[in-house]
């Protein structure tokens, strides 16, 4: 971190810690309120400093003179922490501007997500987790996902709570985000590998220290993801519900007819023909193992020879099974 680029208040926080920041700011505000407010409203201020100064802002009643970003940030804190008193104090000064809200959330995340400074509490993590969820869910901001993935694994190594952050990460409903988790299969840290396996619903390697085995598992997963990405959907099954969640799964029906789906709600992104609809009525009554055989073969032949696929998909399902099994056994 380049301390020369830090605001005046951030420099105090980084160099001297929470208690000195609060004491120095409190004294300055009593002596020279306008100057203290100018520091607080400084454009390059980072969110952790604003958060740590919330008691001083409350005690000195500085709300009226805060800039829109800081008001919006405090409003966000009040909502996430269910702080009715804070909500009432900032209520008269709220900016009903969606753009300001989004920019403030991005500022909180960009300047505050990685902070692990003196005085960090569970309440601070709750704010960051809530902001992350708003960005990924309400604003569909995928730019934050790499940092969110890194935060999940960092917190896990430190023994911190990760359930809400994992939930926020998967609220992006982005299959490509799974690659950000998969890269941790190659980590030298066994905790990283274990968590990556849990999040991707993979078996834990018996020898997590063997590079060749870990590399193979990683490459196998990327191959599987590339094949199934168009047919993946998010199950909304996370750590809140089970210790062994399966956050994503393959829609076998979509893969069978080779039609892309929305990973958020499983709706097909292309219309089904009448023939495909009839075939799916029979397909979905078949046992799971036969559905997998048919869907895997259907995708394979669809990618290899579209003309041959059109011939195959129009056959009766019994005949399709015979052809698919013969091909698989032949391989």
Return the domain boundaries, the chain. Answer: 272-330
Residue 321, token pair as written in the block: 């099974």
Question: DSSP H helical segments within the chain, as ranges?
Answer: 8-16, 18-31, 33-40, 47-52, 54-60, 68-80, 84-90, 98-112, 122-133, 145-158, 163-170, 178-182, 190-200, 211-228, 252-257, 274-283, 288-304, 306-313, 317-330
Q: Using one digit for the tens of pLDDT, what is the confidence trace for 17-56?
A: 999 999 999 999 999 999 999 999 999 999 999 999 999 9
Answer left, alpha or beta for residue 160, where phi above 0 means left and psi between -120 and 50 means alpha: beta
C-alpha atoms less than 13 angstroms from C-alpha of 313 in its C-beta half-sphere: 29
Express each pLDDT in 297-321 by its tens digit. Answer: 999 999 999 999 999 998 998 899 9
Instruction: Give the residue among 17, 120, 103 at the shortest CA–CA distance from 67.
Output: 103
- Tens of pLDDT, residue by residue over 234-291, are 999 888 777 788 999 999 999 999 999 999 999 999 899 888 898 899 999 999 999 9
Q: Which residues contact 25 (CB under 8 A, 6 or more apart)?
A: 9, 12, 36, 39, 40, 53, 56
The pLDDT value recorded for residue 232 is: 97
Measured CA to CA in angstroms, residue 127 lies from 40, 48, 115, 231 at distances of 19, 11, 12, 34
Which tens digit of pLDDT belongs to each residue from 168-178? Answer: 999 999 999 99
Query: Model's pTM, two decimal places?
Result: 0.90
- Picking from 304, 291, 299, 300, the residue whose alpha carbon sits closest to that of residue 253 is 291
Distance CA 293, CA 285 (A): 14
């Amino acid at each position: 971190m380049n301390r020369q680029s830090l605001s005046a208040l951030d420099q105090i926080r980084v160099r001297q810690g929470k208690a000195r920041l609060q004491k120095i700011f409190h004294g300055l505000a009593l002596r020279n309120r306008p100057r203290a407010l100018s520091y607080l409203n400084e454009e390059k201020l980072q969110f952790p400093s604003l958060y740590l100064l919330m008691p001083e802002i409350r005690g000195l009643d500085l709300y009226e003179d805060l800039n829109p970003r800081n008001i919006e940030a405090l409003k966000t804190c009040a909502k996430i922490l269910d702080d009715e008193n804070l909500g009432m104090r900032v209520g008269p000064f709220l900016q009903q501007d969606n753009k300001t809200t989004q920019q403030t959330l991005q500022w909180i995340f960009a300047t505050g997500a990685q902070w692990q400074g003196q005085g960090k509490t569970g309440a601070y993590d709750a704010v960051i987790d809530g902001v992350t969820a708003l960005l990924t869910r309400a604003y569909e901001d995928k730019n934050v996902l790499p940092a969110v993935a890194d935060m999940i694994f960092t917190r896990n190594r430190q023994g911190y709570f990760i359930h809400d952050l994992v939930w926020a990460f998967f609220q992006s409903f982005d299959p490509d985000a799974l690659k950000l988790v998969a890269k941790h299969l190659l980590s030298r840290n066994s905790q990283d590998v274990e968590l990556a396996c849990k999040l991707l619903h993979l078996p834990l390697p018996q020898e997590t220290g063997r590079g060749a085995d870990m590399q193979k598992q990683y490459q196998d997963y990327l191959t599987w993801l590339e094949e199934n990405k168009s047919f993946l959907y998010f199950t909304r099954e996370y750590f809140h519900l089970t210790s062994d969640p399966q956050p994503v799964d393959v829609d076998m029906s979509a893969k069978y007819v080779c039609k892309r789906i929305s990973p958020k709600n499983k709706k097909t992104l292309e219309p089904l023909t009448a023939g495909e609809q009839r075939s799916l009525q029979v397909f979905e009554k078949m046992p799971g193992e036969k559905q997998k055989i048919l869907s895997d073969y259907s995708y394979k032949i669809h990618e290899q020879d579209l003309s041959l696929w059109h011939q195959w998909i129009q056959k009766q399902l019994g005949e399709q099974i015979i052809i698919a099994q013969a091909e698989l056994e032949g391989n």
